[in-house]
Copies of this chain bind each other. A is one copy, B any other.
Amino acid sequence: MPPSKPLVEPLILRDFLPYRLSVVTEAVSSLFATRYQERFGLSIPEWRVVAVVGQQGELSTQQVIEHTGMDRVRVSRAVIRLADKGLLERRAHPQDQRAQVLRLGEPGRAIYEEIVPLARDLQAQLSAALTPEELRTLGEILDKIGHRTHEMAGEEEAGGPGG
């Protein structure tokens, strides 16, 4: 008997949703990362920190973590590099000596003013592939998938639906 006769309906990887999300997202991230690197010498984590600090004016590292969704270590390293480059000012938090308050210095502010239009432009180029309707729908879909993923990850730790 032939041993490789499939017992299950084969799975087509390129139709598999997590795979498709991953491939497309990696392509987009790679493209944007290349542009940021070329023009500003910034990695994506660094770029994100500049974006949120530039928008909020002044943030603790902890708040940057919340706003960017990145973990402590990644934010910490991005902050250190940005400070080394002279783009980010760090001073002690007045009420908590463990924490620090971050703000853009003048050079950082200058880069921020360039970063934002470039980001908008790149996003516009990307979005041009979609109708406004599709763009709106995509936003909703990403929210829904995000929520569902969070629920599924939660069911992991909990014992399941009590059965």
User: Taking beta carbons and an 8 Å cutoff, which residues of A are in contact with B?
Assistant: 3-4, 6-14, 16-25, 27-32, 34, 48, 51-52, 54-55, 57-58, 67-69, 103-104, 106, 109, 112-113, 115-117, 119-120, 122-123, 125-130, 134, 137-142, 144-150, 152-153, 156
Contacts and interface: CB of A to CB of B under 8 A. Distances in A.
A21 to B, nearest CB: 5
A128 B148 contact: yes
Given A137-B134, A141-B130, A141-B138, A18 B28 contact: yes
Copy total for this chain = 2
B137 A141 contact: yes
Given A3-B106, A10-B116, A116-B10, A146 B23 contact: yes
